[in-house]
Structure 1
Amino acid sequence: MLGWMIFVYQAPPDQVARNSPDPEPFLLAHWEAGLGGLAWLDDLVKLGKATQLRFDGYPARYTAQTADVLPQITSGKIRPANSGLWVFGIDEGEEYVQPPAWLKVVQTSHDRIAACPPDALLTIEAWDQS
């Protein structure tokens, strides 16, 4: 496992799955993260603020309300901890190294986020990047 590709949608899980592979109209944010990239979601589940519906990586799927998820994204709390495993590998002849706190730039739809009600149900999908 190399990490996660994470997508946050303003839609219930059945609507996201039904519109796959193009749930783009519902997309609020997406990014790539290292191995610890789901720690923030696991914390929300432990607090009872998110529900884990599926966890096989193809994708892992969660639901939570806007008020519990979007502040995590906008404040940077989605960044993995700077402790844990480094990932080393070779992909198509290219060597790479990912530190524990690796997080690729978060892409957001500012207009959609601004229009999202705080009690809206969000679906978060996390795809295993193996």
Structure 2
Amino acid sequence: MTPPPPAPLIDADSIGFWAATREGRIALCRCGDCGTWLARPLASCSRCGAKTRFEDISGTGTIYSYIVVHHPSVPAFAAMVPYVVALVEFDEGPRLPGLLLGQPGEIGDRVRAELTRFPGADEDAVTFRRI
């Protein structure tokens, strides 16, 4: 039997992200004043110090970088090797990593984010497919 993927650490900073995924949306941290998208969730903006909030993103973007995994460090994904972990730059600007499902991709390829529940997982994961 395949072990489940590890459960995410849901803390005060990331709860907005996980709440959105439970509703079928992808939302990332953004400053409420200057509009800067933040690479990680923070209570206040690293640029201007204003409060942040989670905002939905379009879900489309471009592969910025990727790796091909041949020796999985997560036992739950062992049957999937080789698989691609892509770093995607969303059209809004922020970047997020996730598994690239379907056809392999290359830097510069357009992708769409989707939410995927892997067997045994407690939460949906952000994954990508080429468009």
Q: TM-score, normalised by structure 1?
A: 0.26
Higher share in helix: 1
State the structure with bigger RCO (CA 8 A, min sep 6), 1 or 2. 1
TM-score after normalising by structure 2: 0.26
